Chain A
């Protein structure tokens, strides 16, 4: 079964720059796929379209067999999807690491006691236990990226979209991310220029060029 399908998608930014022309893409459930392309090719835009943060001019997005069009349908889809932004400062908003990791679960209405247990568990897994009470904005870039990832993984997403996860990361952080992402059992779509990281993590690759995707 396909986790994700895109049919004949067209998207242009206001002002006229055309990003996608009749784009088609299908990603199978459990697939770990790399998304490559030149700077400005539309990798981040594609992630935003997939999560309903941007609206295409035409075309359809099918997630887990169901066409997603309305904001409510995208909201439901986002509950099963995690998107990691390129800049962790865009994502980390709470005054402590612990609260930031808990943020999405609390928004989804999970009881605080249950959330606390899940936060403890993910912090232990990612080695963030010592940082739990720290202010996220004062952490190093690598630590911020790990906290962002923890905030996503704690929600146990079925689809994980990572936008340049290794940008600015050192070798230690890369191997730590790799270890945890290799254990991820859901569907993974990673956009990156880091070919070594992609080779070690992904089993398939899609290349964006001139507004369309090639496998």
Chain B
């Protein structure tokens, strides 16, 4: 599953209490997103990189992920340096690149990468069920947590149904083209997928009622914060506080 690509492992980061990971991740991400200082953002990027190293996650898969994220950032570089007013650095025809535009693009790039790496290193190293539980422990309403978990659980099933429908279309001689028949076919597929999802939702609801579900997913192994978790949280909060005020 897409959300759990990095969740398996036995590194110190993987073993951290999910509640601690979320409690550190949220303020760190907010600080990174709201800061306009390069020093703060670079420090957080470095911290995120350190966590990734500690989680032993540097791999081709991680680089692929970062490449996808930075592809979107590239579009920013194609517009922002040209559209922001400020000190001209370079002129190409009617377009002028400004120093302020370049700096802002760089800042956003660093922020994006720092937050992405933090997301992979902290919530990304936690199985989704544990993440859902941690959210519940941290006061998120049960209904939202259940929607998050059930969406995650069944998105894969719906994708599989969509793939089966695509194969059926292929087997029946359908090949997409730019015409009304293609539009109608895809509309039918979307409608059928919606109906199937709705019917499945009803069956899942029945199954949950049958199995005595009372609005919260029970856990066999409950969270227990260790001294290491407390230490990680304290060090992280101290660093974030310093970064906020320097």
Binding site for B on A (CB under 8 A): 48, 51, 53, 75, 78-79, 81, 83, 85, 87, 89-91, 93-95, 98-99, 102-104, 106-108, 112, 115-116, 135, 137, 151
Give the chain A neighbours of B211 by CB distance below 8 A: 91, 103-104, 107, 151
18 A-B pairs besides A107-B213, A137-B1 with CB distance below 8 A are A78-B209, A78-B210, A78-B212, A90-B203, A90-B204, A91-B207, A93-B150, A93-B207, A94-B217, A95-B153, A99-B129, A103-B213, A107-B212, A112-B221, A112-B222, A137-B153, A137-B157, A151-B211
Chain A, residue nearest B204 (CB): A90
Binding site secondary structure of chain A: helix
- Is B220 in contact with chain A by the CB < 8 A criterion? yes
Query: Across the interface, do B153 and A107 meet the contact criterion of CB distance under 8 Å?
Result: no
Q: Name the distance in Å between A212's Cβ and chain B's nearest Cβ.
A: 24
Q: Smallest distance from the beta carbon of A58 to chain B beta carbons, Å?
A: 22
Check if B209 sits within 8 Å of A95, measured CB to CB: no
Q: How far is the CA of A95 from the CA of B222 in the complex (A)?
A: 15
| Interface residue B156 (Cβ < 8 Å from any Cβ of A) | yes
Closest to B214 in A: A107
Give the residue of A81, A102, A104, A107 whose beta carbon is less than 8 angstroms from that of B220: A102
Of A53, A89, A93, A151, which is within 8 A of B209 by CB?
A53
- The CA of A95 and the CA of B127, in the complex, are separated in Å by 8
10 contacts between A and B (CB under 8 A): A85-B203, A91-B207, A93-B207, A94-B217, A95-B153, A98-B220, A99-B220, A112-B221, A137-B1, A137-B156
Query: What chain B residues lie within 8 Å of A83 (beta carbons)?
Result: 210
A residues less than 8 Å from B219 (CB atoms) = 99, 106, 112
